[in-house]
Amino acid sequence: MTAIEALASSAEALNAQPLREDIAHHAKRAVIDWHASLFPGLATPPVRLLEQALSEDLDRGKARLALGRRATTRTAALINGTAAHAAEVDDSFRDAMYHPGAATIAAALAAGQSAGVDGATFLRAVVVGYEVSTRIGVVLGRSHYKYWHSTGTVGTFGAAAAAASIHGLEAQAFAHALATAGTFAAGLQQAFRMDSMSKPLHAGRAAEAGVLAADLAASGLTGSLDILDGEAGLGQAMSDGPDWTRVASTLGEDFHIARLTFKNHIGCGHTFAAIDGALALQARYQVKAEDILRIRIGTYRPALDIACYERPATANEARFSLRYVVASALVHGSVRMAAYEPARLDDPATRALMERMEVAVDPELDAAFPNQRAARIEFEMNDGRRLSHLQPNRKGDPEEPLSDADLSSKLLELSTPVIGIERAQELVHRLWKFDCATDLNA
């Protein structure tokens, strides 16, 4: 049995049974966070340009975009998946170095709307997509993440698995959906090593490709079942030839969706341990930003490789600037959407503090990545004091999870500017009862 067949067999078994109540609750948390990520992404340039480019696929079809506009299934998955990743607010599964929600939920929603399924079926598809894809991401590991953007590559499997679940595919067809998804998987990290609009498209294209792969499998199209573990498969081509033998061993028993990270700040998640540590140190000693002579940050290598902009010139670069987000947090108290407005980007106090900052790889913290995302922070004060703090995790990680109330507040904060407070409150209410919904299109 190939790795794809093992995953498909376990996914079929999971798809055939009702979700445990606690796992359904975790799925609802993921869906609520996905919607919180979706709304601020709607106004971003990539999403606006997508809608223009794909206008012939809009105002028809059975699926819908975020604000209710009709769309074909694949176009809804593409646009919603892109929007959910565009503002850098979406969830992650730490061990796989992967944002599973953007593509997986976009695909499940589009496929579910087109198929007319109920809320419980949709939530089960979300779980299946998360459980299959995160396991592939874990096996691909850090070697994959060196060059590839897992949200685009691994996300294709999450989307395909979710859509295959919606279709109710039996194991063999499910396997072919994943096999075809494997040859669609793409997304290079170089796409966001300079200022560009391409990164959120990785999630959108993963959602679209996954929907297509499942549709094709449902129609009888076959794929290479050894696409993961074959001699020219994804494991060899995109990683270091990892061991796939146990990839599905705990699927249906140990639920990864119960151990997600939900973002408490807005921006690149690799910066969050440093933000949390800097704010904790500031609060403990009640120091002002202007009283800090120098800041030293030690963290893991990918945080410096990806959040690499030393002097960001645009909002997109600022989201990937460790120096900027930490300085902005210390000057303004938080890193929310306002942090990327023009006045904040050019704030003299923030820019001055950035110039007094040193960042470096901490070998101990780097060795713990990806299973731990930590940072060491030191403030050298104008009065000669040296203050230090080790931030072992990020708020929002499984060790310091956001509460249900936190997630509701996040959705209200980020959706209200788009749809108004009354509609936002009603949306929160309905999403917590998603398993009772009889019609996704309602």
Copy the structure tokens of residue 246. Answer: 């146990």
Return the pLDDT at 193.
Answer: 86
CA angle 65, 23, 178 (to 5 degrees): 60
CA angle 243, 248, 249 (to 5 degrees): 95
Just give the CATH number of 3-264+402-436.
Answer: 1.10.4100.10
Q: Is the Cβ–Cβ distance between 38 and 84 less than 8 Å?
A: yes
Round to whole Å and give the CA distance between 280 and 214. Answer: 46
Strand order in the sheet with 375-381: 357-361, 292-299, 375-381, 386-391
Prior bond to 370 cis, omega within 30? yes
Return the pLDDT at 439.
Answer: 86
**Domain definitions of the chain by residue range:** 3-264+402-436, 269-391
Q: Crossing angle for the helix pair 3-15 and 171-184, nearest 10 degrees?
A: 130
Round to whole Å and give the CA distance between 278 and 295. Answer: 9
Stated pTM of the model = 0.95
CA angle 268, 272, 276 (to 5 degrees): 155
Return the pLDDT at 441.
Answer: 80
Q: Is the Cβ–Cβ distance between 46 and 82 less than 8 Å?
A: yes
Return the pLDDT at 50.
Answer: 97
Measured CA distances, 290 to 258, 271, 325, 333, 353 (Å)? 41, 21, 16, 13, 8
What is the DSSP code (8-state) at residue 18? P
Round to whole Å and give the CA distance between 9 and 227. Answer: 16
Return the pLDDT at 393.
Answer: 96
Give the pLDDT means over successive 10-residue stretches in the chain (442 positions). Answer: 98 95 98 98 96 97 95 98 97 97 98 97 98 98 96 98 98 98 97 91 98 98 98 98 97 98 96 97 96 98 95 94 98 94 94 97 96 97 97 96 98 97 97 91 75
Q: Is the Cβ–Cβ distance between 431 and 32 less than 8 Å?
A: yes
Residue 3: φ, ψ to 5°: -60, -40
Q: Which CATH superfamily is domain 269-391 in?
A: 2-methylcitrate dehydratase PrpD (3.30.1330.120)
Q: Crossing angle for the helix pair 73-86 and 21-41, nearest 10 degrees?
A: 80
CB atoms within 10 A of CB 186: 16
- Reported residue count of the chain is 442
Residue 118: φ, ψ to 5°: -95, 175
Find the farthest-apart pair of alpha carbons in the chain and give their distance in angstroms, rounded. 72
Return the pLDDT at 262.
Answer: 98
Residue 261: φ, ψ to 5°: -105, 125
Distance of CA 89 to the CA centre of its chain: 8
* b/e per residue 16-36 (b: at least 16 CB within 10 A): eeebeeebbbbbbbbbbbbbb
What is the DSSP code (8-state) at residue 395? B
CB atoms within 10 A of CB 429: 10
Q: Crossing angle for the helix pair 101-115 and 119-145, nearest 10 degrees?
A: 150
Q: What is the CA radius of gyration of the chain?
A: 21
Cβ burial of 323 (10 Å; 0-12, 13-18, 19+) is buried
